[in-house]
Homo-oligomer: A and B are copies of this chain.
Amino acid sequence: MKRLFLSKINVAVIGASGYTGVELLKMLIAHPIFNINYVATSEGDVKLSDLHPSLLDVFECDVQKASSKEVSEKAELVFLALPHKTAMVFVKELMELNVKVVDLSADYRLKLETYEKHYTAHTDSANLKNAVYGISELNREEIKKASLVANPGCYPTSTILATLPFMDYRVKNSPIIIDAKSGVSGAGKKCIATTHYVSINENMFSYNPFGHRHAPEIAEKLNISEDEVNFIPHLCPVTRGMLSSIYLQVEGEFDPLKVLKEFYKNEPFVRVRETPVDMKSVAGTHFCDLYAQKKNNVLFITSAIDNLLRGASSAAIANANLMMGLEEETALPTIAYVP
């Protein structure tokens, strides 16, 4: 059923204080159909432009203390940008109140056993079963019908889009190497030693090698075992951006760029490049840029996304568009933060 848009669709943002929160708001402000009708944080009681001074004279509203009851009276769909564990409490309530949810946390991304192994006990397994993993290039039709979409992690998005086209060429059971580089905004707004300017400026380092919780997410969505995924994230001195270098052992003769182009020929937000991709050409956009090159049986794929957009908030908008019967591309940013 196609909806006639005589009126706007009211939406809510819960968790508006963080980086993904403000990115959601920035796109929703410009969205032709979605109407921001409720904005909340866990504390509430503040004006939006005090949380995000750049929005002064652009968009103003009172920020509420998050309440599922209230949001259900104000919005048909909610963007939930809360930490995992907190998120599932809200999702459970919101589902009962018949509000659609795009959840940006990790709480509904994984199968129950995978989740509980890597995160914590799950208190809403019923909804977990029905949640759809929100990469439209994989699950577009399911997303359209979903009430609850689990927005994917940034590292999994950049890795899965890069790797999936080549899974048929991969040597069975061979290790996948993912050497991923993230901007500092990926570490969140909290002030910690690692995000202090003096710590990360002029610096770079890997962290949590083999142990990051995005690894099982990658494995599950690529339908391989966790053992096969070797995921090493790095923090690097840029504000936003994610560059993932993926190394596969492959067999058979093929042209990597042709494979990518064929796989994504109908996808407007995946760009296949003729030369190695860079972070900046996708910063501020929903694009995932890909390039691949082969040497004997080693395939190198390099993937660039904006970690806060394609890796979080613009993916959420895309999912919400689909869930509400809109064109997927509505209000998705394509103009990069260059120069």
Contact = CB atoms under 8 A, between A and B. Distances in A.
| Copies of this chain, count | 4
A124 B209 CA distance: 46
A259 interface: no
A29 B30 CA distance: 15
| Chain A interface bracket (under 10, 10 to 19, 20 to 34, 35 or more) | 35 or more
A53 B281 contact: yes
Given A191-B192, A193-B191, A205 B276 contact: yes
Nearest to A283: B202
A139 interface: no
Interface string A247-274: 1010000000000000000001001010
Contacts of A237: 197, 201, 236-238
Contacts of A239: 197-198, 201-202, 339
Interface of A: 19, 22, 26, 29-30, 52-54, 56-58, 175, 177, 179, 181, 184-185, 189, 191-193, 195-207, 209-210, 227, 230, 232, 234, 236-241, 243, 245, 247, 249, 268, 271, 273, 276-285, 287, 293, 295-298, 300, 302, 304, 308, 334-339
